[in-house]
């Protein structure tokens, strides 16, 4: 059974940093691209970032480019999102999701975690 478990969400002040983790089990982690998708309270889904299976290519939404960094440790079956320069508008539930295709980022997200809450407030 494929499982994705996010952690690391917290209350942080504007300008602060946070690192999210997503532990994955039940699949060959290194074979699949992964993504982060967020959802602000009461709002829709917003894609944040993605990374290929090897970690060799990364992609970002314009809203987080230059502030967030996605990475992965395939030896630990774990996906990360380093968030710097946090803004109030980054407040959201952050989901990690698995790409259906192998290796490249295809964008079809077939498994999702339950999310971790990031609150940016002074």
Partner 1 sequence: EIVMTQSPATLSVSPGESATLSCRASQSVSSSLAWYQQKPGQAPRLLIYGASTRATGIPARFSGSGSGTEFTLTISSLHSEDFAVYYCQPYNNWPPGVTFGQGTKVQIK
Name the residue nearer to partner 1 (CB basis): 23 or 106.
106
Does 71 engage in binding with partner 1 (CB under 8 A)? Answer: no
In whole angstroms, give the CA distance from residue 101 to residue 107: 8
Does 9 engage in binding with partner 1 (CB under 8 A)? Answer: no
The closest of 77, 72, 75, 50 to 61, measured between CA atoms, is: 50
- If one counts every other C-beta atom within 10 angstroms of the C-beta of residue 57, the result is 13
Site for partner 1 (CB under 8 A): which residue of 9, 27, 30, 59? 59
Does 108 engage in binding with partner 1 (CB under 8 A)? Answer: yes
Are the C-beta atoms of residues 90 and 16 closer than 8 Å to each other? Answer: no
Copy the structure tokens of residue 73: 């440790």
Does 112 engage in binding with partner 1 (CB under 8 A)? Answer: yes
Where do contacts with partner 1 occur on this chain (CB under 8 A)?
A: 35, 37, 44-47, 50, 57, 59, 61, 95, 100, 105-115
């Amino acid at each position: 059974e494929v499982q994705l478990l996010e952690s690391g969400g917290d209350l942080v002040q504007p300008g602060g940093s946070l690192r999210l983790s997503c532990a994955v089990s039940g699949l060959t982690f290194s074979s699949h691209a992964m993504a982060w998708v967020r959802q602000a309270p009461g709002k829709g889904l917003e894609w944040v970032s993605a990374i290929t299976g090897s970690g060799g290519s990364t992609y970002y939404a314009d809203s987080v480019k230059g502030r967030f960094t996605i990475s992965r440790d395939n030896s630990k079956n774990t996906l990360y999102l380093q968030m710097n320069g946090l803004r109030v508008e980054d407040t959201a539930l952050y989901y990690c999701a698995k790409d259906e295709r192998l290796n490249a980022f295809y964008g079809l997200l077939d498994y999702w975690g339950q999310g971790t809450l990031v609150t940016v407030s002074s």
